[in-house]
Amino acid sequence: MISQFRRYSESWIARIFFLIMAVSFVGWGISGEIFRMMGAPTWLAKVGGETIEIPTFQAEYQRALTQQTRDLPSGQEVTAGLRRQVGQQTLERLIAQAALGIELSDMRIVTPDAALAAQVRAMPAFRDSSGKFSRTAFDAALQNAGYTEPRFLAQLRSDIAQQQLLSVVGGSAAAPDAEVKPLYEMEFEKRSADMAFFPLSAAPEPPAPDDAALTRWYENHKDSYTTPEYRRIKAVELSPDSLASEIKITDADLQAAFEEHKTDYQTEAKRSAEVISTQDEAKARTLAETWRGGVDWAGMQAAAKATSASAITQDDATQVQFPDPDLAKAVFAAQVNAVSDPVKGQLGWFVVKVTKATGGTTTTWEQVKDSLRARVLASKAADLIYDRANKLDQLLGNGTSLDNLPSDLGLAGVAGTLDSTGNTQAGVPAPIPGPAELKAAIIAAAFQAHQGDQPQLTEVQTPSTGGSAYYALSVESVIPPGVKPFDTVKTQVVDDWKQDQRRRSQDKAATAMMLAVQGGKTFSDAATVAGVTPKLSPQVTRDQGNPAMPPELQRPLFGLKLKEATMVETTEGFVVAQLVEIVKPDAAADKAGYDQARSAVSKSISNDLSTVFVDALRQRAKPQINQQGFDSVVQAQ
């Protein structure tokens, strides 16, 4: 047997077999070592030929998460669900940008240096008090936002190019009348109704209830006669207000602060405009003449499309929001509803018609002098607060009670009993000093802490003052919620019982009238029987009401058929109404309204086209996602 095996092993078939086995084992071992040496991939996503590295995603994710955190209520923690949601949104945005970047590269679309520089210089965040571009403000803004200059400029250059591409994709959208007309008719349709009011105040006075009825009412509505949980707290505050006596503020300080933050007290002028863009001056002049000849915007969109030009709208935009600085100057120099001459810009030739102009506003120093004081105080107190906060934190960390803190720290003390809304047992706001953000934080913390917890120093951002403040508190006692005894609330029980009887009476009367109208009786006759005087409502649309019509009636009114009746309850009683008039809008007589509807539909179509276009680019790029890398960033605490 052995000799046979030896002979077999010397054959070519056996030698090939053992060679394959040897290579397999060696390769297995080597490849295993290679994979172990390689470690986890450093990329988070691959989009076409582009790679999104994990550090890039992490920086963008942290910036987006910080923005979301600022919007959370004070004291609320960031949940795992929110982190994952922000991470997914950030990743999708980066993938879309990468896919767009590939398309821009393929189409050789670039942002000229001149256009990039003009955009940077036009940004309000980079201007000084005189309104001119400031290198110091530019550097400070980038540092605060966590950007390096090359990274910011690269991102802005990409954004400008992407905006140009998407404006071309969406700019060709023209809303057909088949879509515009139904929207226009629904939006501007007007209706009016006969109304009959049954206010609770007009209900017959109910007879005095006996004790049995009151007791039964009280037992059935105990939730209306409860006391909330109260907590007695003791707290100390360290804030610019508590240090105000140590800080001197002059009018010169206030004037300097006003100059530094002048842009905060100004609103920029805005324009809504219809813009046609083309690369050919002759085409621009021809389109301008056509427009001046009375062609409406829909017609100009069609004319632009026929000549390979772009027709876009810009709504309520500031000067820096227009993609071309020369275009922006032309828009803000144009007269409303007048077609401009062709304007040469950095991105082509433009013809402009401004449809709406809103002027900017400026607030004077005298008008904001008092509010500036809090900002200046916070600024001057910043270093002092930081030093005092460190000392206070050390004292509390060493177990010092609030009662034994030194008196030279500039602290403000507060003690009292309050509920979770910040009201005292007397039903008035607790007299907690300091800015609103600090008050809200103390109230929230009072109902999160436990009785006996050691006070801890907590910092609170106070945007209303432009700074921050600190507090520490302890809960001294807790008064649990409870039901007020019947004898202490009997008067309120009587009033509530009587009001309920009035409501029942008016509900019954209004229901009887509505049924009579629905049964065929005229509205006037039914109102006479009910003892009320009917009233014709003003005409209203779905979105524009009238003080003479209860808002509770406005929406149901547009679900009725002509002569159909309904009944609604308001805060004051009941209203019976019958639809008596439907006024269909006339597009021919209301060109502005119809154009408004067309613009809304066109904008929606444009946005949809851009979304579909970007999604198509994304699918074509076939992004690969490193889920493990994504989880490692998003799930990090």
Asked if 519 and 468 sit in the same domain, the reply is no
Query: How many whole angstroms separate alpha carbon 352 and alpha carbon 322?
Result: 12
Domain membership of residue 569 (yes or no) is: yes
Domain membership of residue 263 (yes or no) is: no
Domain membership of residue 416 (yes or no) is: yes
pLDDT digit string (tens) for 567-579? 999 999 999 999 9
Asked if 461 and 337 sit in the same domain, the reply is no
Question: What's the pLDDT band for 553 if we cut at 50, 70, 90?
Answer: very high
Q: What percent of the chain has pLDDT over 90?
A: 37
Question: What's the pLDDT band for 495 if we cut at 50, 70, 90?
Answer: very high
Domain membership of residue 588 (yes or no) is: no
Lowest mean pLDDT among 9-23, 134-148, 526-540: 9-23
Name the domain boundary from 544, 565, 583.
583
Asked if 49 and 80 sit in the same domain, the reply is yes
What stretches of 447-485 show up as alpha helix (H) in DSSP? none
Asked if 111 and 69 sit in the same domain, the reply is yes
Q: Looking at residue 74, what is its pLDDT?
A: 57
| Gap between the terminal Cα atoms of the chain | 67
Q: What phi and psi, each to the nearest 5 degrees, are found at residue 468?
A: -150, 170
Query: What's the whole-number average pLDDT of the chain?
Result: 84
CB atoms near residue 101 (< 10 Å): 18
Kindly state the tokens that stand for 105: 């590269």
Q: Looking at residue 181, what is its pLDDT?
A: 84
Whether residue 303 contacts residue 172, with contact meaning beta carbons closer than 8 Å, is answered with: no
Asked if 26 and 75 sit in the same domain, the reply is no
Buried-exposed string 462-492: b where 16+ CB fall within 10 A, e elsewhere: beebbbbbbbbbbbeeeeeeeeeeeeebeee
Question: What's the pLDDT band for 18 if we cut at 50, 70, 90?
Answer: very low
Q: Which residues contact 533 (CB under 8 A, 6 or more apart)?
A: 196, 527
Domain membership of residue 325 (yes or no) is: yes
Least Cα distance to 176 among 313, 298, 300 occurs for 298
3-state helix/strand/coil string of 55-73: HHHHHHHHHHHHHHHHCCC
Domain membership of residue 274 (yes or no) is: yes
DSSP assignments along 582-637, one per residue: EE---TTT-HHHHHHHHHHHHHHHHHHHHHHHHHHHHHHH--EE-HHHHHHHHT--
Lowest mean pLDDT among 366-375, 433-442, 549-558: 366-375
Whether residue 200 contacts residue 502, with contact meaning beta carbons closer than 8 Å, is answered with: yes
Question: What's the pLDDT band for 103 if we cut at 50, 70, 90?
Answer: confident
pLDDT digit string (tens) for 30-85? 344 333 334 567 888 888 888 888 888 888 888 788 777 776 665 567 788 888 88
Kindly state the tokens that stand for 89: 């949104």
Q: Looking at residue 519, what is its pLDDT?
A: 95
Q: Which residues contact 422 (CB under 8 A, 6 or more apart)?
A: 429, 430, 432, 439, 440, 443
pLDDT digit string (tens) for 315-327? 888 888 887 888 8
Query: How many whole angstroms separate alpha carbon 201 and alpha carbon 188?
Result: 35
354: CATH: 3.10.50.40
Asked if 494 and 458 sit in the same domain, the reply is no
Mean pLDDT, range 89-116, rounded to an integer: 84
Name the domain boundary from 298, 329, 359.
359
pLDDT digit string (tens) for 247-267? 888 777 777 777 777 777 777
Count the domains in the chain. 5
Q: Looking at residue 365, what is its pLDDT?
A: 67
pLDDT digit string (tens) for 456-478? 999 988 887 767 889 999 999 99
Q: Which residues contact 288 (CB under 8 A, 6 or more apart)?
A: 339, 340, 341, 342, 351
| Report field, pTM of the whole predicted structure over 0.75 | no
Phi-psi region of 519 (alpha: psi -120 to 50; beta: other; left: phi over 0): alpha
pLDDT digit string (tens) for 352-401? 999 999 888 777 767 777 777 777 777 777 778 888 889 999 999 999 99
Q: Looking at residue 130, what is its pLDDT?
A: 67
Rounded to the nearest angstrom, the gap between the alpha carbon of residue 278 and the centroid of all alpha carbons in its chain is 35
Mean pLDDT, range 291-299, rounded to an integer: 89
Name the domain boundary from 480, 504, 520.
480
The range of the structural domain enclosing residue 385 comes to: 229-258+365-480
Q: Looking at residue 172, what is its pLDDT?
A: 65
Query: How many whole angstroms separate alpha carbon 263 and alpha carbon 273?
Result: 25
Cα within 13 Å of Cα(503), Cβ side: 11
Asked if 383 and 234 sit in the same domain, the reply is yes
Whether residue 155 contacts residue 583, with contact meaning beta carbons closer than 8 Å, is answered with: no
Query: How many whole angstroms separate alpha carbon 23 and alpha carbon 34?
Result: 16
Q: Which range in 24-28, 341-345, 561-565, 585-589 is most confidently predicted, on average pLDDT?
A: 561-565
Q: Looking at residue 37, what is its pLDDT?
A: 38
Domain membership of residue 625 (yes or no) is: yes
pLDDT at 627 over 60: yes
